[in-house]
């Protein structure tokens, strides 16, 4: 950031969630950090600030869960110091909790703010969609609306930004999706995988229309569910003012792993527990908590899985027979899981001044002494201090 530019920000707290009782706490804010990922239940905004009387009444901390917090920020220059407006909102969410730290010289607070999807994610959804004739996008909307319905029959969350068609203009497939007493967050993430956004015939013939998971996001009271744009929006070359580091997350280091292998003929989930024979050492009791999807993640497995579904339909298999066949198939993949499918691909962290970029967009890296090519954005972190704005992008290799 140049000597002639700075970060202009504003943080507003809606006391008692009322538009008639707005408290401006900007002067006490020292840092703002936001994170967005493809697992939206982890999206959050942390506001670091010095202690102030505005947040207390008779010694009691006043902000309550569900109080709105609006965060505005943009980079301005001395020559063009424009006012903040609605286009500069970088977070619109609800206060959930705070952390207070004291030392001999100061008291610091961190306000934890989530987006409005938090209320949806933390519900249990029990409705079955077997034989309902609903498409993937319709089921997604039903989950959001069921979780956000108010007493008067209206909805706290607006679903008008949930995609009604795929980007090529075709409809989402009709699905038989049945889950009982499962967190809405898990159902929404499952529905966003390519296993549910492509038809069985598209998967079995290796002609998927949607090749990457859908983006789930909440902006204000709007639920967003859309395909990744996969547009190249950023070029990084030897002249770009960015730092790059490489990190690898490896599920293969787990001793045991629970694999979700898809649904049976009744719409119930099929899971297996596999052991990493090459991990060595003893099995930890908490190792089974490591869980991930096989279905919707590996294209070869999905093709074989859907071939079994078609065979079950044509030959009249019982559900038990189908479950056994899928389990055998999944176990055959477990042999190579820890060495191939489950091995985390290297991810790259790009640290730069403020960047306007979204999840699912593409970064073109053309630097000497680096693996050049296209990388897909899978995580965005914004860190704002009093005189700086840093964006950290986590990306992974992308093949068009």
Are 12 and 158 in a shared domain?
no
- Last residue of one domain, picked from the residues 115, 140, 173: 115
Residue 39, CA distances (Å) to 24, 54, 65 in order = 31, 34, 22
Q: What is the pLDDT of residues 305-334, one digit of tens each?
A: 888 888 888 899 999 999 999 988 888 876
Shared domain for 298 and 334, answered yes or no, is yes
Give me the pLDDT at residue 106, please. 81
Which of 318, 341, 364 is the last residue in one of the domains?
341
User: How much is the mean pLDDT over the chain?
Assistant: 84
Question: How far apart, in whole angstroms, are the C-alpha atoms of residue 357 and residue 378?
Answer: 11
Q: Are residues 140 and 57 in the same domain?
A: no
Query: Both 282 and 328 in a single domain?
Result: yes
The CA–CA distances, whole Å, from 269 to 69, 118, 124, 308, 326 equal 38, 25, 16, 15, 11
Residues 9 and 111 in one domain: yes
Q: Identify the residue with better confidence: 367 or 267.
A: 367
CA–CA separation, 37 and 321 (whole Å)? 38
20 and 65 fall within a common domain = yes
Whether residues 237 and 358 share a domain: the answer is yes
27: containing domain: 5-115
Closest to 196 (Cα-Cα) out of 306, 352, 359, 320: 306
In this structure, are residues 131 and 176 in contact, taking their beta carbons and an 8 Å threshold?
Answer: yes
The angle that helices 184-191 and 136-148 make with each other, rounded to 10 degrees, is 160
Q: Which residue has the tokens 């930004």?
A: 161
Instruction: Examine the fold and report which residue of 115, 144, 163 is the final residue of a domain before the chain moves on.
Output: 115
Mark whether 373 and 311 lie in a shared domain. no
- Return the structure tokens found at 71: 């965060």
Residues 91 and 133 in one domain: no
Query: What per-residue string of b and e applies to 350-383 under the rule 16 or more CB within 10 Å gives b?
Result: bebebbebebbbbbebeeeeeeeeebbbbbbbbb
Q: How confident is the model at residue 2 (pLDDT cuts 50, 70, 90)?
A: low
CATH of the domain at 41: 2.40.10.10
> 174 and 50 share a domain?
no
For range 248-259, the mean pLDDT: 60
The predicted structure's pLDDT at residue 339: 56
218 and 293 both lie in a single domain: no
Instruction: Tell me if 251 sits within 8 A of 292, measured CB to CB.
Output: yes
Containing 74, the helix (H) or strand (E) segment is: strand 68-77
pTM score: 0.77
- Two structure tokens written together for 392: 């950290």
Measured distance CA(2)–CA(6) in Å, rounded: 8
What tokens were used for 273? Answer: 């527990």
Are residues 237 and 384 located together in one domain of the fold? yes
Q: Is the pLDDT of residue 32 over 70?
A: yes
One DSSP character per residue, 165-211 reads S-TTSPPPPB---B-SSEEHHHHHHHHTSHHHHS-HHHHHTT--S--
Q: How many domains is the chain partitioned into structurally?
A: 4
pLDDT grade, residue 284 (50/70/90)? very low
Proportion of the chain above pLDDT 70, given as a percent: 86
């Amino acid at each position: 950031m140049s000597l002639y530019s700075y970060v202009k920000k504003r943080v507003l707290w809606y006391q008692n969630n009322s538009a008639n009782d707005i408290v401006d706490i900007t002067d006490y804010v020292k840092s703002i950090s936001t994170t967005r990922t493809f697992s939206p239940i982890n999206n959050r905004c942390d506001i670091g600030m010095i202690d102030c009387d505005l947040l207390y009444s008779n010694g009691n901390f006043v902000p309550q869960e569900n109080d709105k917090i609006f965060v505005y920020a943009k980079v301005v220059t001395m020559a063009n110091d424009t006012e903040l407006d609605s286009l500069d909102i970088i977070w619109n969410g609800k206060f959930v909790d705070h952390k207070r730290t004291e030392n001999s010289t100061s008291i610091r607070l961190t306000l934890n703010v989530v987006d409005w999807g938090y209320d949806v994610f933390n519900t249990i959804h029990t409705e079955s969609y077997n034989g309902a004739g609903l498409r993937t996008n319709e089921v997604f909307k039903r989950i959001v609306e069921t979780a956000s319905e108010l007493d008067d029959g209206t909805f706290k969350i607006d679903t008008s930004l949930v995609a009604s068609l795929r980007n090529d203009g075709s409809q989402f497939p009709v699905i038989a999706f049945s889950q009982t007493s499962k967190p809405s967050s898990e159902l929404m993430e499952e529905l966003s995988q390519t296993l549910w956004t492509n038809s069985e015939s598209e998967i079995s013939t290796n002609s998927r229309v949607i090749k990457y998971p859908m983006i789930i996001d909440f902006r204000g009271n709007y639920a967003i569910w859309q395909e990744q744009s996969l547009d190249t929006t950023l070029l990084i070359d030897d002249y770009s003012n960015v730092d790059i580091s490489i990190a690898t997350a490896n599920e293969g280091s787990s001793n045991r792993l629970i694999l979700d292998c898809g649904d049976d003929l009744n719409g119930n989930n099929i899971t297996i527990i596999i052991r990493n024979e090459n991990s060595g050492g003893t099995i930890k009791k908490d190792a089974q908590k490591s869980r991930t999807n096989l279905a919707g993640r590996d294209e070869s497995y999905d093709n074989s899985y859907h071939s079994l579904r078609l065979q079950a339909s044509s030959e009249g298999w019982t559900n038990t027979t189908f479950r056994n066949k899928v389990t055998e198939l999944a176990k055959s993949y477990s042999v190579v899981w820890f060495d191939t499918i489950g091995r985390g691909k290297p991810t790259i962290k790009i640290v730069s001044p403020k960047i306007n970029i979204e999840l699912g967009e593409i970064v073109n890296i053309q630097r000497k002494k680096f693996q050049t090519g296209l990388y897909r954005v899978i995580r965005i972190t914004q860190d704002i201090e009093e005189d700086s704005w840093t964006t950290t992008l986590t990306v992974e290799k992308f093949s068009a």
